[in-house]
């Protein structure tokens, strides 16, 4: 569904940087690996930090840069061990004579050697140093040991001008050939840690306050339908996705109404957040209809993100008193109303008259739906039309790491214009950020074009 995939799609590649002047090329190597679809993490020896700042690597990779064997990650894990266990390959570029010697003898005094010693992943080494250092028998022996005994892939340095002003063999190999060696090293191997939990922590890229003055309504959690005063029918939703969306929207300056059914994660308790607790589909419907129109009769919100797992069925006649146990029984179920279809229908009618938009009248709200599917997403796009959506976030909840009760999700996002984008397995917070990355400019486009009344085709309704 998405465009051409890179050769390192879904992989985590660790770039080990040691203290050669060629360390200045490491950020560019990170970029090239990312261009192939890799998630990248950086490891720096102490002397490498004199040539390139860890902050540069952190900002590029969105992971903490490992620099100290004796420090822990914020979540308490040992950073270089997390890298060793989750990376698909470690590429040491540039590798100094000192590092080659340390590695050849197993001296784990820096995070790069420590991670290489602790990993089962392939290691690619691109030496860079003065020509005479590279030709010295000590270096030749060390490189030979890495190649033969450790089966590391060596990307030989090139001949050319060196930092000393002289010329010789010692220049870091050209970066595309290092990338090719990394690609070759992982070929035919499964991705070692596909999900973000086993990988180094992700540092979310700061987002602009691009939802300031917007009112975003988010529904979260599973509704529950009474059978009798004690029992109910519900589903496995934990509300994580909806709460992540609410938090992400608040972080971008939005006013958020979170309509929360059954959730098992903390709800936002901060300025700008209004939480409405509901239980059944009927009470969620009432809460939605309440927010739909503002006091002035205009649309009451800018966007609705319907992440809740709404029950599709409810007992037709819930008992008023407890149903005694001990006998078998048949439960009669009736379908619940489709809240999303109903709300989007009303929201469209609330939008301004296309021919004569009144000044200051908010255009119609944008509507984002979710589709929880099992096995395949083929049914998802039809829900855009049947429910009148601008965006649809679909996932296969039967897939490992996706759906209910996990911190991660792999989704495909469909737009009303017909596009579809597959996103990799991401934390729910990152999925939330990316959904809002799509939504915020759509709201801006909606407001910039009041005469059209909408950014999507009204005709498809």
Shortest Cβ 221–ligand CTP spacing (Å): 10
> Cβ-count burial of 461 within 10 angstroms (0-12 exposed, 13-18 middle, 19+ buried)?
exposed
Out of 142, 174, 235, 409, which one is annotated catalytic? 235
Which of residues 38 and 343 has its CB atom nearest to ligand CTP in the complex?
Answer: 343
Distances (CA, A) of 241 to 11, 19, 262, 339, 432: 24, 43, 13, 18, 7
Q: Which residues bind ligand CTP (CB under 6 A)?
A: 281, 306, 308, 310, 312, 336, 338-340, 369-372, 383
Which of residues 226 and 450 has its CB atom nearest to ligand CTP in the complex?
Answer: 226
Parallel, antiparallel, or unpaired for β 408-409 and 426-427? antiparallel
Residue with tokens 């985590």: 12
Q: What is the dihedral of CA 143, 147, 153, 159, to 10 degrees?
A: 40
Active site residue 235: yes
CA–CA gap between residue 44 and residue 65 (Å, rounded): 7
Active site amino acids: 235
């Amino acid at each position: 569904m998405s465009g051409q995939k890179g050769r390192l799609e879904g992989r985590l590649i660790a770039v080990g940087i040691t203290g050669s002047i060629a360390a200045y090329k490491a950020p560019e190597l990170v970029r090239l690996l990312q261009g192939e679809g890799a998630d990248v993490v950086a490891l720096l020896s102490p002397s490498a930090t004199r040539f390139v700042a860890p902050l540069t690597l952190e900002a590029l990779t969105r992971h903490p840069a490992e620099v100290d064997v004796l420090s822990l990650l914020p979540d308490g894990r040992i950073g270089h061990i997390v890298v060793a266990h989750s990376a698909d390959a470690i590429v040491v570029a540039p590798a100094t004579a000192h590092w080659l010697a340390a590695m050849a003898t197993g001296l784990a005094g820096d995070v790069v050697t420590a991670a290489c010693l602790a990993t089962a992943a392939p290691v690619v080494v691109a030496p860079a140093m003065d020509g005479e250092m590279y030709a010295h028998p000590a270096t030749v022996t060390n490189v030979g040991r890495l190649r033969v005994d450790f089966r590391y892939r060596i990307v030989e340095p090139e001949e050319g001008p060196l930092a000393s002003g002289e010329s010789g063999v010692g220049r870091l190999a050209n970066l595309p050939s290092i990338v090719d060696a990394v690609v070759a090293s992982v070929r035919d191997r499964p991705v070692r840690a596909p999900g973000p939990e086993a990988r180094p922590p992700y540092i979310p890229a700061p987002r602009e306050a691009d939802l300031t003055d917007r009112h975003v309504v988010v529904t979260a959690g599973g509704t529950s339908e009474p059978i009798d005063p004690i029992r109910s029918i519900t589903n496995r939703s934990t509300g994580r996705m909806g709460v992540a969306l609410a938090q992400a929207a608040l972080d971008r300056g939005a006013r958020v109404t979170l309509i929360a059914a059954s959730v098992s994660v903390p709800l936002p308790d901060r300025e700008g957040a209004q939480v409405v607790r509901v239980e059944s589909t009927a009470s969620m419907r009432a809460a939605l209809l309440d927010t739909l129109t503002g006091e002035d009769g205009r649309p009451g919100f800018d966007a609705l993100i319907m992440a809740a797992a709404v029950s599709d069925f409810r007992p037709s006649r819930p008992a008023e008193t407890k149903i005694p146990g001990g006998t078998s029984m048949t439960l009669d179920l009736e379908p619940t109303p489709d809240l999303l279809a109903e709300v989007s229908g009303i929201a469209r009618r609330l939008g301004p008259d296309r021919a004569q938009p009144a000044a200051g009248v908010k255009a119609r709200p944008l509507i984002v739906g979710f589709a929880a599917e099992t096995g395949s997403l083929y049914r998802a796009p039809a829900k855009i039309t049947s429910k009148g959506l601008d965006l649809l976030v679909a996932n296969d909840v039967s897939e490992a790491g996706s759906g209910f009760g996990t911190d991660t999700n792999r989704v495909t996002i469909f737009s009303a214009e017909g596009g579809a984008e597959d996103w990799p397995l991401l934390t729910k917070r990152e999925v939330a950020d990316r959904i809002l990355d799509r939504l915020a400019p759509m709201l801006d486009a909606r407001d910039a074009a009041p005469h059209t009344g909408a950014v999507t085709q009204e005709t498809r309704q």
